[in-house]
Chains A and B, each alone.
Chain A
């Protein structure tokens, strides 16, 4: 066989394998999403949103879990966003080339993909253990610790996209640094900053591990931040592992709800971010 033919054959094999890999990967992912829509959609009804999580054997919904998830995510984002945004501002504006910024950037990137269950353990150690009981607020704190790295990273990236000439123009008019950042850089990067927050919400709303031993679970409606609170992921975890058919059905439905929420958030964040890049 000539060298030319061998090369062509190798190329055909390699590209064929790449096609196969793409097909293989997409097959599993569509399979998972397909099953999720089918199984979750079967249990979708208004009662899911209006009734509490039931004891086994009776009908019910996920209302308390949905409310708990929303509340804890909201508090988590409310705590984590300012911290992440301020730190991101330092990295992009005041201390762009300082040693501190370099170290924080590195550490933040590690926190970004650190195992979330460890964050749960950390919050258990500093909040749940001293308080003596599980509580919604410690769940929210655990979530906020996951929000910080996401917001920090996007804030820095988006501020870096703001052209330096804009900052220089503002400084030339006599605006002090804080005003340049607040009135010029933040406004120019607004869509991007919102993207960061949305991505953080998306990340946090599906997190199970850090809630398992901070907020725990609650079978009833609760808005008491000092008491255990139900959340969708934890309810899914508990119900899916149970032997009861109706609990398992609710787990599927909850999983579908979370996936829809996360996908919607990511798509909105993505379009916002894309609009930002095009208008630049």
Chain B
């Protein structure tokens, strides 16, 4: 047998010479067989190549399909309400009059409050895991947090509804209302009867949900800091805090921002953790204790019950708005994380 290179050329050299007599006897059939076999292999290779390429393109088509179908579904609502849809506070299925502002407002406010809680705590947990935690505990706690990041959000939602909301209603909200009663600005933020469910409760549940996510990403990102840099910092006498503040954080800033944006993307699009505890009221209320709604909660609650094309279409337009918002946030997040990867590579 002669050695055949991938492109089918016979290799030169001794092997060929010793095979010569043998080859002369069986040559015609072997050459035809080999050519056929090579042909087949090349075809298989081409087909496999195109198949994988097609699958990669299919991913792009899926995204394109999502955008196109959402725009198509939202068209009746877009034509009826125009840009006023974004700012209108109306939500009246009976008169077919819809506006997205309460849902957009609820989505943004709950996510912002959630990030306000989850980011400092998440960074704290990441710092704890990379610097402070006793070594034998690091892996178990780290793994536990990663596992928690994968728990379905409906679990957080059901816990929020049955355990957290009643607790907030009886213990936290009365104290907040009484505590801030005399303070000028804050009294309107914490006003109204203590429902238990509402914007603040939903934000807190969201915060707990994205916390493991932000913590585990930040930990991974912190760990990309070269040990040499940290050792150098400790070597010139920096405290742990100074090392984190002046070495680790500046080095991993892009990654931390990326991780936080990823968490924000999750929070904005989260449905189940919020739907249970937001209260589903289509109004913008200055009080954080009042019930509100978010885009995803509105869709989840009303879509199957929506009668009439315009109602359905308005809900799909809400979905489109949500998709655009999260797309932008996630694109920024990925860009930031890619920058860090390139830096550490």
Measured CB to CB, the residues of A under 8 A from B are 7-8, 10-11, 13-15, 17-22, 24-26, 28-29, 31-32, 35-36, 39, 82-87, 89-91, 93-95, 100-101, 103-104, 106-111, 113-119, 121-122, 124-126, 129, 145, 148-149, 152, 171, 174-179, 181-182, 199, 202-203, 205-209, 212-213, 216, 233, 236-237, 240-241, 248, 251-252, 255, 258-259, 262-263, 266-267, 270
Contact = CB atoms under 8 A, between A and B. Distances in A.
A98 B169 CA distance: 56
Contacts of B141: 22, 26
B73 interface: yes
A119 B326 CA distance: 13
Interface in B1-35: 3-6
B52 A121 contact: no
B208 interface: yes
Nearest to B149: A266
A111 to B, nearest CB: 6
B154 A121 contact: no
Contact of B53 (A14, A18, A94, A207): A94
22 contacts: A18-B124, A21-B120, A22-B141, A29-B211, A35-B163, A87-B59, A89-B52, A90-B52, A90-B53, A94-B53, A114-B66, A118-B269, A121-B69, A121-B70, A121-B316, A176-B6, A236-B154, A237-B275, A241-B276, A255-B154, A258-B154, A262-B151
Chain B interface mostly: helix
B73 A20 contact: no
Interface string B240-261: 1110110000000000000000
Contacts of B54: 86
Nearest to A83: B55
Given A106-B334, A110-B334, A208-B271, A21 B276 contact: no
B221 interface: no
Given A176-B44, A259-B152, A25 B122 contact: yes
A178 B66 contact: no
Given A21-B120, A35-B159, A115 B271 contact: yes
Contacts of B154: 206, 208, 233, 236-237, 255, 258
B272 A209 contact: yes
A93 B52 contact: yes
B158 interface: yes
A83 B52 CA distance: 8
Contacts of B62: 111, 145, 148
A174 B215 CA distance: 47
A15 B240 contact: yes
A209 B270 CA distance: 9
A117 B300 contact: yes
Interface of B: 3-6, 41-42, 44-45, 47-49, 51-60, 62-63, 65-66, 69-70, 72-73, 120-125, 127-129, 131-133, 141, 143-145, 147-148, 150-159, 161-163, 208, 211-212, 215, 239-242, 244-245, 262, 265-266, 268-272, 275-276, 296, 299-300, 303-304, 315-316, 319, 322-323, 326-327, 330-331, 334, 338
Contacts of A85: 55
Nearest to B241: A14
A175 B57 CA distance: 27
Contacts of A14: 240-241, 244-245
B155 A259 contact: yes
Q: 9 tightest CB-CB pairs across the interface, nearest first?
A: A206-B152, A21-B124, A115-B269, A86-B55, A90-B52, A11-B239, A14-B241, A87-B55, A22-B128
A19 B158 contact: no
A17 B152 contact: no
Given A25-B124, A121-B316, 16 more contacts: A14-B245, A21-B127, A22-B132, A31-B163, A87-B55, A109-B330, A113-B326, A119-B66, A125-B69, A152-B59, A179-B45, A205-B152, A206-B152, A208-B271, A241-B161, A252-B158
Most chain B beta-carbon contacts within 10 A, residue among A82, A83, A121, A205: A121
B246 to A, nearest CB: 12
